[in-house]
Structures are given as structure tokens and as C-alpha cells.
Amino acid sequence: MMSEANEHAHTIVGPKVYIAILFALLVGTALTVWASFVDLGPWNPVIALAIATSKALLVVLFFMGVKYSSKMTKLTVFSGIFMFLVLISMTLTDYISRAWGSW
Amino acid sequence: MPDNHAIAHGTDDAAHAEHPPYLRHHFNSAAQQADATNFAMWLFLLTEVMFFGGLFTAYLIYRNWYYPAFVAGSHQLNVVWGTTNTVVLILSSFTMAMGVWCAETRRRRGLVLCLSLTFLFGLVFLGIKTVEYREKIEMHHVPGFHYSLQSFLDPESNSEVYNEYHDKPLAPDMAVHTELYFSLYFLMTGMHALHMIIGIGILGFMIWRARAGAYTSGHVTFVENFGLYWHFVDIIWIYLFALLYLISRHQ
């Protein structure tokens, strides 16, 4: 447990990757602003949140280096976000079903 | 150093010769220390996710509840300022990531430059936020005693917004709920701005330390973990921008 098996070689991510991600994030921003000018009805929020989530994913994986980090970090990040989604969906489930049958 | 520790490692001199000066004695190796610190930083960020998550959930539910008021409130925000700030923050995240790379590859001047640019972009973001807040104050859109419903009861009185969205007047009992939209707007962007202010303060400290070569001699944990914090603040803004500025433009 306390031996080298628990450790990983620290990966240094270079400028090329960071520049590519910067470019992708700027394109994502342009895309989401452009999409907000188009009337897509109920799909406007869906598309805006999908693009925001893709951008957040790029930041987490590359800028924050989760892609190159240890399994423990990956598990920590994943379980945290999963727990957050559980809390949000349970809150919304409660909210949606509170007046169930009384209309 | 306590005696028992010295016994465990042989003599004091031998114990210190084996490891770099920044390695704490309760860790086996520098790599283990870095892993543990990284883990702790992520745990802190997860508490931040839960904190902002509560605000996002409140926004989601109230938007559903008082939908017309939230749409009308959202139309008062300026998409150009919002987009500019998003770009500024993405650039600052990029310079921060480059700063971590400079620290890892021991480039002192590069690190100072990257941290200074991040610091500068942070200030630009707050400057633009100030312009936006000031407009809200002038329009009496700050919740409280001076809050005014005029923009919502008589949309044509605000020609700039009206020409873009052609909003219909809200009924008075719905219009009062625009105050809730702005309460959440100021709470969420304000908490985000507070995180930026704290980050900029720490950046100032780091620039001062980096000039002395503190992070370019192998010990990069502080720069790395601050980078995680800064990127996290960027992610929060990515969602705030989508939720507050973009999703209600055609409703």
C-alpha cells in the first residue's frame, strides 16, 4: 500500500495540448453564443447546457489534468460529480412529484 | 526533530540527505506527498461543487416556477459583456495552465509572466463585472428597497432591451418575481466574483514568491493546486454564462 505501486509518474502536459484546448474552448463559446441567437424552442437550454458541459469536460480533463492523473483522483472526481447529480435529481424528483395526483 | 523519528531513519543527517527539503516526514516520497495533496485539493473542490450546486438547483426550480419573470429578467443582461468575460476567463485558464507547465519545466521567467497574465485577466473580468453591476444599480435592478419593476411592467420604457426582445408587459404579480431572478443573479455571480477576488489575492502572493524562484526548483504543488482552483472557478462561470445569459433569449 505504501510502496511505489501506489504512485505514478507525474505527466507534464505541454503547451501544444493547452493551445488546442484553448482553441476548442473558444470555438465552444462562439458556438454557444451563436446557438443562442437561433430560435430552437425548448432545445435552446438543452444545447447551451450540452456545450457548457463539453467545455467543462475539456477543462477538467486537460487543464486540470484529470486525464493524466492517478486512478484515485479519477475516482474522486467521478464519484463527487455523480453524487452531485444524485442530489440534483432527487431534489427535482421531489419537486416534480410533490403535487402528484392533486391537480 | 523528535528522537523516535531520528531512530526510525538512522541519524538526522542521513534522513535529510535522502529527500528534498520540501518533503514532509510523514510521507514516504515526494510523489506520495504530491498525490495526497492533490487528493485533498479535489475534496475541497467537491465541497465547492456542492455549494454552487445548491445555488444552481435553486435557480433551476425558481426558473421553472416563475418562468416569465426569469425570462424577462434574463433579457436585461448584456450578452456582449457576458461573452467577453467568458473569453477573458478562458484565456486566464489557459495562461494558468501554461504557468503550471512553466513551473514543472523550471522556467522562472515564464512562470512569472503566466501568473501575471492570469492576474491581469482576473482583474479585467472583475472590471467588466463592475460595469455590469453598475448598470443594474442605475436601472434599480438590485433587489431591495430601491428595486423598480418599471422595465417589466412597461418594457418599452427601456428601448435598448425592448428593441432586441420586444417583451410584452408582465402582470404585476409575476413582475414582482423578477426580483428573485436578480437575487439569484447577484448571489451566484457575486459568490463567483468573491472566488475570483480570493484567487487574484493568492495570485499576487504567488507572483511575488515565483520571482524569488520558489516554484521552479522542483516543488510545484502549490502552483498546481492553485491551478485546479482557478480552473474550477472558470467552470462555474461557463455554467453561469449559459444559465443566466443564454438560455432565455428566445422565450
Interface confidence, given as ipTM, is 0.89
- CATH ID of B30-246, from 3.30.420.40, 1.10.10.10, 1.20.58.760, 1.20.120.80: 1.20.120.80
Asked if residue B216 has pLDDT above 80, the reply is yes
* Contact at CB, A59 and B46, closer than 8 angstroms: no
Q: Where are the alpha helices (DSSP H) in chain B?
A: 3-8, 12-17, 30-65, 67-74, 79-104, 108-138, 150-153, 159-165, 172-175, 178-211, 221-240
* Contact at CB, B31 and A10, closer than 8 angstroms: yes
Read off the pTM: 0.89
Interface probe, candidates A36, A47, A71, A89, chain B, greatest B C-beta count within 10 A: A36
Mean pLDDT over A85-101 rounds to 88
> Nine-digit cell at B153?
411592467
Mean pLDDT over B62-83 rounds to 95
- Percent of residues, chain B, with pLDDT higher than 90: 77
Polymer length in residues for chain B: 251
* Contact at CB, A22 and B94, closer than 8 angstroms: yes
**Long-range contact list for B193-196, CB < 8 A, 24+ apart?**
B193/B126, B193/B129, B195/B233, B195/B236, B196/B122, B196/B125, B196/B126, B196/B233
How many C-beta neighbours within 10 Å does residue A87 have? Answer: 14
Mean pLDDT over A45-69 rounds to 95
- Angle, helices A15-37 vs B79-104, to 10°: value is 170
Q: What is the mean pLDDT of chain B?
A: 91
Name the residue ranges covered by the structural domains of chain A: 4-97
Q: How confident is the model at residue B15 (pLDDT cuts 50, 70, 90)?
A: low
Asked if residue B168 has pLDDT above 70, the reply is yes
The gap from C-alpha B52 to its chain's centroid, in whole angstroms, comes to: 11
Asked if residue B190 has pLDDT above 60, the reply is yes
Name the residue ranges covered by the structural domains of chain B: 30-246
CA distance B72 to B69: 5
| Chain position carrying cell 443562442 | A36
CA distance A13 to B124: 27
Distance from the B54 Cα atom to the nearest Cα atom in chain A, whole angstroms: 8
Task: Confirm or reject contact between B228 and chain A (CB < 8 A).
Answer: yes
> Nine-digit cell at B124?
479585467
pLDDT in tens, B32-42: 888 899 999 99
How many C-beta neighbours within 10 Å does residue B16 have? Answer: 14
How many C-beta neighbours within 10 Å does residue A33 have? Answer: 22
Query: What part of B 39-98 touches A (C-beta under 8 Å)?
Result: 39, 42-43, 45-46, 49-50, 53, 56-57, 60-61, 79, 83, 86-87, 90-91, 93-94, 96-98
* Contact at CB, B101 and A18, closer than 8 angstroms: yes
Q: Which of A44, A66, A2 is nearest to B33 (CA)?
A: A2
Shortest CA distance from A25: residue in chain B = B90
For residue B30, list chain A residues with Cβ-Cβ distance below 8 A.
none
Shortest CA distance from A58: residue in chain B = B235
> Nine-digit cell at B14?
542521513
